[in-house]
Amino acid sequence: MGEGRQESTGGPHRRFRQDEHHPVPQFLDEGLGFASIYYGDIEPDFAQGYKYGIRSYYSKPDTTYPAPDQWGAISAWSWGLSRAMDYFETDPQIDAKKVAVFGVSRLGKTVLWTGVRDERFGMVIASCGGEGGAALSRRNYGENIDHMTHPTRYFYQFAGNWRNYKDDFNMSPVDAHMLVALMAPRPLLLQTGLTDYWSDPKGEFLSAVAAEPVWKLLGKKGLGTDKWPEAGQPVLNDLGYYMHAGGHGAMPDDFPVFIKFMKMHFLDQK
């Protein structure tokens, strides 16, 4: 599930143009299949997108999103990924027990949430999810709950109740390390960028450190360190962390790391 750019075509419908192609041959050459899904086909990525996406089929006519306790766009995109998994389970060419789900930025948040609530996914690789993903809200570093839920920004991606904690992040009953911990014992790789300050790469690392005891409890290996690794030094255990030297998103040099992580856990190639 990559992230690309949408271009308006004069109405609520959008046309997708992918800025960068995923290096599909790299995966195929290593014996790994590759599939992609465009999140805008599930629901368009703007405030009124719910009118044209999957939520419109499930909502009452007078529903206005984000309702306080109802799903936002991230949950809608996640729903679509689960429907893709429904198909994978029917295709004899696919080992549906060894499917990794990958996304960048808002889709980094989406794939993490997908892996947590749908345990059929065998692995999550979440790129630069930041606030609302793996970054700790209580650090209040870079993007925060107020930014994410502001009426001029990405409020539509979440349940409306998250806005209740915009003034005091410490009042929230949950934080990102709890979301990360819910992936255990399945493999999770958090990929970040050293200069992606807005997404708080250190906050994602600290979230993984705080979640590590759950992997240990379930007989798996967490990060094994509480020292923030240098850029370019991946930690690839059952719980993994990798920070490249650049900024937001996944870079070409990141994909060999993803492939190594997948082969370690899916093909037993250490």
Active site residues: 105, 248
Taken as a whole, the chain contains a residue count of 270
Whole-angstrom Cα Rg for the chain: 18
Which DSSP category does 229 fall into?
P
88-91 own/partner pairs: CB under 8 Å, 24+ apart = 89/120
Residue 237 has a CB neighbour count (10 Å cut-off) of 20
Which DSSP category does 2 fall into?
-
Residue with tokens 């109405």: 11
Which of 219, 221, 217, 222 lies closest to 205, judged by CA? 222
Strand partners, 104: 127
Q: 56 φ, ψ to 5°?
A: -65, -25
At 144, list the tokens: 């925060």
CB-hemisphere CA count at 13 Å for 112?
30
CA–CA separation, 38 and 60 (whole Å): 26
Task: Give the three-class secondary structure for 262.
Answer: helix
